[in-house]
Amino acid sequence: MAEVVCKNLLKVFGKKAVAVDKVSFKVKDGEFLTLLGPSGCGKTTILRLVAGLETPDSGNISIDGKLVNDLSPSKRDIAMVFQSYALYPHMNVFKNMGIPLKIRKLNKDEITEKVSTSAKLLGISDLLQRMPKELSGGQRQRVALGRAIVREPKVFLLDEPLSNLDAILREKTRGELKELFSRIGGTVIYVTHDQVEAMTMSDRVAVINQGKIQQIGTPLEIYNSPKNVFVANFVGSPRMNLISGKVEGEWFRASKFSLELPDTVVREFISREKITIGIRPEDIYIDNSPLMDYPAIVNLIEPLGAQTLIFVKLEDINIRLISKSGVKVGEKINIRFDLNKIHFFDTQTSEAIEAR
């Protein structure tokens, strides 16, 4: 395996369409890094730059300590798995998996051994004589992975490989992929718009928007300490509640809504009139005690199985919270905020405010 280093990558399509805007990151040897972001944010373009399928307008890409900007994809020692699987329809599974080895002119015995080993690893040994049209989506995805694995590349590049699978199969395959790359110790760059995939599979996550890395860190770092409003809003399901207002003494006020700030952060905000607070739905609780701190009206209920997503109106603010309590639309409830879990952002810059 190998380390991948991208430094100040810039890619512009046409005259003004900046797809990748001076992006820099490092993927350690054997690390699983996910590029996470909405459609059109530039994550797939970054992957294609690393693969050599696109040429950067400026910046450098190194693999295993070697500058690869001018190398063709075939000479970068990478394997790419596409969203569409890209299997040859006229070849059976064995031939699809073995074609990279045939191109490298390995003999039949070597090809058979490597394909058989990879097929066993992926649990598709019984599919080797089938044609792609005879396979399910999940089986095709395994074949595409197998074709990448037999090459024993330095770096695996995966472009939304699970997006064509149904929800149940996607969950199953997600776990299999994580276990697989843990066993083979692969250096992986994985592209997805699905935050669940990013949070469950990755060693680190790079959140991307408008061609720039907004934050890079472990899944828990991204979730617990978002660096700006975009990351806070994009990572987490249901989305974080974001409320813009101003600071008056020890109070945060947004129209008719007021929240007393914790003593530990009051001094930090005394010089900032406008801030945005963020709190995740799971950090808001229903508390129907006699002391009514924040009375709210239930507007909508979305059952999620073990828990329920509840939309409430608090004064003139709409709030989402998660609860196991049985409530009804129109019911008046009391909610409490976990003040230790509130996030603070500068309203003008959208950047997180760290309390000293």
Q: Which two tokens stand for residue 18?
A: 């900046």
Looking at residue 136, what is its pLDDT?
Answer: 85
pLDDT above 60: residue 189: yes
Alpha carbon distances (Å) from 120 to 31, 112, 147, 161, 296: 24, 12, 13, 20, 57
Phi, psi angles (nearest 5°) of residue 261? -80, 150
Residue, of 145 and 213, whose pLDDT is higher: 213
Residue, of 23 and 324, whose pLDDT is higher: 23
Exposed, middle or buried: residue 282 (CB in 10 Å: 0-12, 13-18, 19+)? middle
Looking at residue 259, what is its pLDDT?
Answer: 84
Q: Which of 219, 220, 205, 203 is nearest to 31 (CA)?
A: 203
Average pLDDT of 117-138? Answer: 89
For residue 125, how far is the Cα from the chain centroid?
31
Looking at residue 272, what is its pLDDT?
Answer: 63
Reported as a pLDDT band with limits 50, 70 and 90, residue 174 is confident
* Secondary-structure breakdown of the chain: helix, strand, coil percentages, each rounded to the nearest 5: 30, 35, 35
Mean pLDDT (the chain, rounded): 88
How many Å apart are CA 18 and CA 147, to the nearest integer? Answer: 33
Reported as a pLDDT band with limits 50, 70 and 90, residue 127 is very high
Looking at residue 264, what is its pLDDT?
Answer: 61
Q: Which two tokens stand for residue 4?
A: 């991948």
What's the angle, vertex CA 243, arms to CA 238 and CA 249, rounded to 5? 140
Radius of gyration of the chain (CA): 25
Average pLDDT of 227-252? Answer: 90
Reported as a pLDDT band with limits 50, 70 and 90, residue 42 is very high
| pLDDT tens per residue across span 240-252 | 999 999 888 778 8
Enumerate residues 6+ apart whose C-beta is below 8 A from 40: none
Looking at residue 253, what is its pLDDT?
Answer: 86
Looking at residue 270, what is its pLDDT?
Answer: 55
How many Å apart are CA 10 and CA 21, to the nearest integer? Answer: 5
Average pLDDT of 164-192? Answer: 83
pLDDT above 70: residue 356: no
Looking at residue 86, what is its pLDDT?
Answer: 82
Residues in the chain: 356
β-pairing verdict for 212-217 and 204-209: antiparallel
Looking at residue 46, what is its pLDDT?
Answer: 97
| pLDDT tens per residue across span 254-308 | 888 888 877 666 556 655 668 899 999 999 988 877 666 788 899 999 988 888 9
Looking at residue 292, what is its pLDDT?
Answer: 61
Q: Write down all domains in the chain, each with its CATH number in brackets.
A: 4-234 (3.40.50.300), 241-346 (2.40.50.140)
Q: Which of 139, 156, 133, 143 is nearest to 96 (CA)?
A: 143
Looking at residue 291, what is its pLDDT?
Answer: 63
How many Å apart are CA 289 and CA 336, to the nearest integer? Answer: 10
Looking at the chain, the whole-number percentage of residues with pLDDT higher than 70 is 95
Looking at the chain, the whole-number percentage of residues with pLDDT higher than 90 is 54
Maximum distance among all alpha carbons in the chain? Answer: 79
